[in-house]
Structure 1
Amino acid sequence: MSPDTTLVTLTGDGTFRVPDPAQRARLNLPDDPYLAALLRLRALLGDDLDSQIATRLYLPSALGQDPTDHVLPATLAMLGDTTGDLASYGWRLGTGAGQAWRRAHEQWERMLGAARIALHGYEGPLMTTALGPATLTASTFLQSGERTLGDPGAVRDLPILLAEGLVEHLERVRDHVPGAKQHVLLREDAVAAVHEGRIPTPSGRRRYDPVPADVIGRLWRRLVVSLEDFGLSADEITLGIGANIELLRAARDAGVRRLAMGPRRMPDLSTPAGRTLWEAVAEEVDRGAVLELIVDPRPGGMLGPELERMLDTWRCLGHTDADAAGVAVIAHTGIAHEVDQGKRDPALQPDASSLLDEPAITDMLRIAPQWAERLVP
């Protein structure tokens, strides 16, 4: 499909709750959970819906089978030349490879092995998801028990380690699924809390100092450069940036074209902050940026209202519905919103209910034609 004809692209947040044994039997899926998950995702997202609605298949970073099967440990398993383990307070770096750390590596190995079988002959887009460097600093701990965020040297090293690990992982994905067009989603669930100084220290009695947007932008730039050196274009890297104008500008200065934002986090256009942010978003779109909207598609979720609010805002800014053509929708169950709002510590392990499942993805697919009709020029 030509990007010029695509009205909307549909994908997920990198998670997929593995079908249970009863579902696997009903759908005639294999017993292996990794193979079953990938086969089901390929059936759901492996083909575009029509000539104007595209899909982006992804390798799940989390199936939710146990505490090591989530996006954070999956990202840590990618870090180059790094070891760690799961302590009572969270994932700790640099302590030697503990059992949980080895298990997280095993999860990725099994997913890659399943990809060779389930995605044989596949030639469409294929996305890898990882937590971004700012979120990793808030989500992990050092041997001292201090968060990585508290060590400037460790903060500087993280993008390099993540870049090395991601590139190695992408090379292996290319070997396993040679026809796939690779894409990377960098989830920065906690970047707003890092930027605004809302991450608590281990004692809980104070907060870490705010990290300026330009410093976070330099972390992103190091990572983006490495991904571009691997061969990805700016159109094949999506970065979650929260809902902050300084972070928006830092991302664009870092060379990011695809910006993932949650409409529910955006301040209302009627407020001064909302007007400033939305106008900046519109300006960046005019300059070539592409929006990827993070929405909850589940029954009772906010998919319809969030998309409707986005179009209402777009019109108030003097644009037409058709000006939003090309947007992507990232299905997500809302845990990133809880982290962003300070309701959840990014270091805490989520439970399986926070992961996407088949009904959530099918609900997104169901509403997509109505959404696309609104975007026809």
Structure 2
Amino acid sequence: MRPLVTLTGDGTFRAPTPAESLRLDLPDDPHLAALTRLRALLGDDLEDQIATRLYLPSALGLDETDHLLPATLALLAETTGDLVSYGWRLGTGTGLAWQHARELRERMLDAARIALLGYEGPLMTSALGPATLAGATFLQSGERTLADPGAVRDLPMLLAEGLVEHLSTLHERVPGAPLHVLLREDAVAAVHEGRIPTPSGRRRYAPIPAPDIGVLWRCLFVALEEYGLPAESVTLGVGADIALLRAARDAGARRMAIAPRRLPPLTSPEGRALWEGIASACDDGCAFEIVVDPRPGGLLGPELEMMFETWRRLGHSDADAAGVAVIAHTGASHALHTGLVDPSAQPAASTLLDEAALEALLRLAPSWAERLAA
């Protein structure tokens, strides 16, 4: 039986504190402790109609190198760089921070062999997408990678090669788990709309047209498909723009993540076009995953109600959304999307998911499943 809803996280998980590890009888190693706890939370389906997707956290927030951006940079094949005063710089020579990010990734893979022994459910790994990487990193000159079209074109292939190696190692560590990839394009709207500032701050980089971003995505999808990971096993964050949605579909995306908070209302021309694009993609067999903040005090209830109301106005029932996946998220990427935060900025530990957020998601799941079954 196909589940009504599948629950997962955004690829981050704040490492348990020593006190939490002691209370929960977790291992002293933070990577092993985090994976052990995540397996306890998401390692088993709640019931027949509520499934879970366990994930390998790409960021625990242990230090400045333990976040999603450096974790993704550590994946790039044959690429070196370092953390400098203005951000993560690509260039010749591997700096200490870059090397440490690689070591953290390897420690998580080693921890997976122990914490996920015998696990045979779905297992997801996460990375930032090429458009976001282009806006979040710098070249040797001090300019953003966006300033060099050749470097931007190289990013998807470097990322794909690194992801394939990473997935191969993960398969060796957890041989029974079907693998899934979450590509977070947190800053794709800013890159597409030309809102990324130059080093001087007095101007912005030229916008990258949606079809050109789609070419980056297509290169990545093709490489992953050659490895053996079909498009159905890759979730791509597409923002809230109809041009980007179309570019993603043209690139071969079959599973896309959207955040209700970002979607324009159906009453606006932009909203009408986007929502009709979403409905058309669903009719063609594409799947959408919903990015929400389940923490107490969040806007989860109103956001989902607005989404369901719009869905009904387009002629669909709540039951038509059965099979949806819900991604828990702290909302940190919304600030990137609106331009309030620079994608190159060092995130705070508070931007990472914690156990309380995932527990809140698990508590809300039965009511969602009941609604989708109606």
TM-score past 0.5 threshold: yes
Amino acid at match of 1:200: P
Out of 47, 52, 55, the position equivalent to 2:49 is: 52
Pairing of 1:252-271 with structure 2 (within 5 A): 252-271=249-268
The alignment status of 1:327 with 2:324, answered yes or no, reads yes
Q: Identify the match of residue 87 of structure 2 among 73, 87, 90.
A: 90
Mapped to 2, the partners of 1:151 and 1:302 lie a distance apart of: 39
Confirm whether residue 212 of structure 1 aligns to residue 209 of structure 2. Answer: yes
For residue 264 of structure 1, report the CA deviation from its aligned partner.
0.5
> How far 1:327 sits from its partner (Å)?
1.0
Q: In the TM superposition, what is the alpha-carbon distance from 1:272 to its structure 2 partner?
A: 1.6
2:238 to 237, 241, 250: 241
Contact 1:85 1:95 in 2 (8 A): no
Are 2:161 and 1:164 aligned? yes
Task: Give the deviation of 1:197 after TM superposition.
Answer: 0.5
How much does 1:313 deviate?
A: 0.8
Match of 2:198 among 170, 179, 201: 201
Structure 1 position 302, deviation (Å): 2.1
The amino acid that maps onto 1:174 is H
Aligned partner (choices 127, 141, 145) of residue 142 of structure 2: 145
Corresponding residue number in structure 2 for 1:31: 28
Q: Which moved more, 1:267-276 or 1:337-346?
A: 267-276
- Hey, what's the Cα distance between the residues in 1 that align with 2:86 and 2:302? 37
Q: Name the residue aligned to 2:338.
A: 341
Q: Is the 8 A contact 1:6 1:326 kept in 2?
A: yes
- Larger mean CA deviation between 225-234 and 141-150 belongs to 225-234
Unaligned runs of 5+ in 2: none
Trace 1:122-137 onto structure 2 (pairs within 5 A).
122-137=119-134
Give 3-state SS (helix, strand or coil) of 2:14's partner: coil
TM-score normalised over the length of structure 1? 0.98
Q: Does 1:79 align with 2:76?
A: yes
SS in 1 for 2:180: strand
Question: How many Å separate the matches in 1 of 2:231 and 2:82?
Answer: 34
Separation in 2, partners of 1:175, 1:259: 27
Is 1:175 the equivalent of 2:172?
yes
| TM-score, length of structure 2 as denominator length | 0.99
Question: What is the match of residue 7 of structure 2?
Answer: 10
How far off is 1:303 after superposition? Answer: 2.1
**Counterparts of 1:122 and 1:376, CA distance in 2:** 29
1:276: Cα distance to partner? 1.3
Equivalent position to 2:283, from 286, 289, 300: 286
- Percent identity, aligned pairs only, is 71
Indicate conservation of the 8 Å contact 1:267/1:273, yes or no.
yes
**What is the CA-CA distance between 1:301 and the residue it aligns to?**
1.2
Q: Distance in 2 between matches of 1:337 and 1:155?
A: 23
Aligned to 1:101: 98
Q: List runs of 5+ in structure 1 lacking aligned partners.
A: none
| Structure 1 CA distance for aligned equivalents of residues 28 and 118 of structure 2 | 22
For residue 201 of structure 1, give the secondary structure of its aligned residue in structure 2.
coil
Mapped partners of 1:210, 1:233: distance in 2: 30
- 1:273 Cα deviation (Å)? 1.2
User: Alignment partner for residue 223 of structure 1, among 212, 220, 223?
Assistant: 220
Q: Deviations over 1:286-312 (max 9, x none)?
A: 111111111101111122222221111
CA distance in 2, matches of 1:184, 1:110: 19
